[in-house]
Chain A
Amino acid sequence: MIDNFTLISVALGAGLLAMPAVADSQLTFSVDRHFNEKSGEDLYHAICQDCHMSQAQGAQGAGTYPALTENPKLAAAAYPIFMVANGLGGMPSFKAYLDDDQIATVVNYVRGNFGNHYPDVVSALDVKEISHR
């Protein structure tokens, strides 16, 4: 019998150790219960990588964190905007902790990285239509 989960986990763990996307030392802490990170890369690696992982590869345990790599669900920008602003399923809403600019920035980052090449760029105004604030 093979311990599939452990094997996969160990392989992933080893991979991450060998190839960190952002070194731990670059990660910082925010003050005043609002994320202070500004760039898409910093926001991704402070928040999104908690679940979607550092290379956006996702993870699987009892449930799944979907990979964001080459993810066709990102084609319509409204979808990731909605997910970040409002949350759905187990995913939390980040409206309380991110302003519309930050949501636009991180959505653009994910849609332009990890094998995603969506050319359209969203703005805070696009986010506002969904965040309703």
Chain B
Amino acid sequence: MRDATGMSRRNLLGWIGKTAGLAAMYQAMDSLAFAAESNYDASFSLSGAPKGAKVLVLGAGLAGMTAAFELRKAGYEVKVLEYNNKAGGRCWTLRGGDNYIELGGAIQNCNFDKDLYLNPGPWRIPYHHHAVLSYCKRFGVKLEPFVQVNYNALLHSSKAFGGKPQSIRAVQADYQGHIAELLGKCVNQHALDQAISLEDREKLLESLRAWGALDRGDTYTKSLESSLRRGFSVDAGGGLMPIAEHSEVMDRKALIDSGLWKYLIDGQSYEFQPSIFQPVGGMDMIAQAFAQQVGDVILYNARVTRIQQDKNGVKVTWTNTKGSVDSQTETADWCVCTLPLSILSQIPTDVSAPMKAAIRSVPYAASVKVGLQFKRRFWEEDEHIYGGISYTDLPIAKISYPSTGYSNIGKGVLLGAYAWGPNAYEFTAMSPEERVRKSVEYGSQIHKQYAQEFDNGIAVSWHRVPWTNGCYGLWSEETRALHYNTLCQIDGRIVLAGEHASYIPAWQEGAILSALDAIKRLHSHIVSSQSNI
């Protein structure tokens, strides 16, 4: 992956590592790893399956169901084995009345009110995830905007501004304004005379005044210009109401020292830029829509224990998690295996040694989400925050307000923690009740209403999710170079698919594109090996 400047990802990461330290480098890696875009072909369609050819699909997540749907359309006989008692895999929504048993046995009953939910896994769909959007359209899944950036949401550092959260609006305006003023000074003090011509210096100054909301003296200060960006201390009104008052800007040094600026880029990155969507009613509306298409060929509660193949076909051994412990088998001509590598790496599987090594090369990330129900939507009623995400340096990392149901009377559910890295491991180590308790405790530092208004919560730690043993496949540049191409090959009669077999890890788009690419290659392999006979 190269950016426009020709700097390779490796060089960039090396540079970040040297200048900002290892921790920053890993953070950048987390982000860069996600930065690939979709290659969806809207006209995708397979046809001409050999008569009677049977494909067994393992896993009824979005990758598995995409494969099942498209292969069946092509004329294959298809069957899907799924561990859970419902379809979707990580495309999952928790609602009131659901209960969830994590690994280790802790049971959580979701006590959310009607129509309130938590998406423990994927929760948003960028406008350039064409494959997901295309299937949503085809299957009638209703979408609504996901509010990624809310200028009135909060940025919080426990070590800055006395722990008082600042609005994204003010941080954005002040950061931009102060930077514009500084750069303007550089120009006016002739620091850039060598770099740009006199004419260009004038143009740059003009752009800095506009971009930074500088006043006539080229300074960023309390003024009409700055208040039009960061808001007023007294808003304009009607009639004889008080007249508007400009707001104080933050001190430049305090703002830069706070580190709050680092959260501003989240919503500006390609994968989170608006427009970005969510399915109305919860992410699993997509899973349900797929299941309407292929549910009749899914065998639920099937735990795969052995995958065998020879020159004649594949044989998969499984046990029924809700019934007899006796093993059963399913045979087919071909197999599309979408099981997470964290699971597949433990199942005896007849594949080549390089494929085995590839399957074992991908660790699974830790991630935790906590949904909190409150007695009222205080973030809207008291703080005028409608959707969007607040960021904090506390272990909860983020608070995301629902992008739906605005101004509804009654209870509301927000995302009270979304942790990665060490804090995600530490959350996972706690009981679910403690994860919820800690989320409320930390969130109280940002919204004082938490203590009074908290109702109930539910916590999902992805390393404890019984059907994935982790959040997503965590490739490194090195493991990709060594194993990725092998992982995507057709190995005898088996091909793998899922987000782990994509360059868009952790995203549903990666799962679907991976499935489409795998079955396209498998289908042409099947057809061509037929004609060779």
Residues on A facing B (Cβ under 8 Å): 1-6, 8-16, 24-25, 27-35, 45-47, 49-51, 53-54, 59-65, 87-93, 96-97
Contacts of B347 in A (CB 8 A): 63
Question: Are the C-beta atoms of B342 and A63 separated by less than 8 Å?
Answer: yes
Q: Which of B117-125, B128-136, B322-330, B523-531 is near enough to bind chain A? A: B322-330
Contacts of B105 in A (CB 8 A): 8-16
- Known A-B contacts A1-B323, A50-B463; the reply to A34 vs B23 at CB < 8 A is yes
Contacts of B466 in A (CB 8 A): 5, 61-62
Contacts of B421 in A (CB 8 A): 33, 97
- Known A-B contacts A49-B429, A50-B461, A62-B303; the reply to A10 vs B107 at CB < 8 A is yes
Q: Which of B166-174, B360-368, B491-499 is near enough to bind chain A? A: B360-368
Question: Are the C-beta atoms of A33 and B422 separated by less than 8 Å?
Answer: yes
A107 CB to nearest chain B CB (Å)? 17
Q: Is B434 an interface residue (CB 8 A)?
A: yes
Question: Are the C-beta atoms of B343 and A62 separated by less than 8 Å?
Answer: yes
Contact of A63 among B22, B321, B343 (CB under 8 A): B343
A86 CB to nearest chain B CB (Å)? 9
Q: Is B430 an interface residue (CB 8 A)?
A: yes
Residue of B nearest to A11 (CB): B105
Complex A-B: 22 CB contacts under 8 Å: A5-B466, A6-B101, A8-B105, A9-B101, A12-B105, A13-B104, A24-B430, A30-B423, A46-B426, A47-B425, A47-B429, A50-B425, A51-B464, A62-B303, A63-B342, A63-B347, A88-B361, A92-B364, A92-B474, A93-B363, A96-B23, A97-B425
Question: Are the C-beta atoms of A27 and B422 separated by less than 8 Å?
Answer: no
Question: Are the C-beta atoms of A33 and B429 separated by less than 8 Å?
Answer: no
14 new A-B pairs (CB below 8 Å) besides A32-B23, A50-B428, A59-B104? A2-B323, A12-B105, A24-B431, A29-B438, A50-B463, A51-B103, A51-B469, A59-B103, A61-B103, A62-B339, A62-B469, A89-B345, A90-B341, A92-B363
Which of B343, B393, B461 gathers most chain A CB within 10 Å?
B343
Residue of A nearest to B103 (CB): A59
Question: Are the C-beta atoms of B474 and A89 separated by less than 8 Å?
Answer: no
Residue of B nearest to A10 (CB): B105
Contacts of A45 in B (CB 8 A): 429
Query: Quick one: which of B420-446 are within 8 Å of A by CB?
Result: 421-423, 425-426, 428-431, 433-434, 438
Contacts of A14 in B (CB 8 A): 105
Q: How far is the CA of A29 from the CA of B423 in the complex (A)?
A: 6
Q: Is B507 an interface residue (CB 8 A)?
A: no
- Known A-B contacts A13-B107, A33-B23; the reply to A46 vs B363 at CB < 8 A is no
| CB-based A-B contact count at 8 angstroms | 143
Residue of B nearest to A9 (CB): B105
Q: How far is the CA of A93 from the CA of B361 in the complex (A)?
A: 11
Q: Is B395 an interface residue (CB 8 A)?
A: yes
Residue of A nearest to B324 (CB): A1
Contacts of A92 in B (CB 8 A): 363-366, 470, 474
Contacts of A59 in B (CB 8 A): 103-104
Contact of A3 among B23, B107, B322, B470 (CB under 8 A): B322
Contacts of B304 in A (CB 8 A): 62
Contacts of B323 in A (CB 8 A): 1-2
Question: Are the C-beta atoms of B469 and A63 separated by less than 8 Å?
Answer: yes
Q: How far is the CA of A64 from the CA of B347 in the complex (A)?
A: 9
Contact of A29 among B101, B325, B361, B395 (CB under 8 A): B395
Q: How far is the CA of A11 from the CA of B466 in the complex (A)?
A: 16
Q: How far is the CA of A6 from the CA of B148 in the complex (A)?
A: 38
Contacts of B438 in A (CB 8 A): 29
Q: How far is the CA of A10 from the CA of B102 in the complex (A)?
A: 10
Interface flags, B18-54, vs A, CB<8A=1, else 0 = 0000110011000000000000000000000000000
Question: Are the C-beta atoms of A87 and B321 separated by less than 8 Å?
Answer: no
B31 CB to nearest chain A CB (Å)? 13
Q: Is B146 an interface residue (CB 8 A)?
A: no
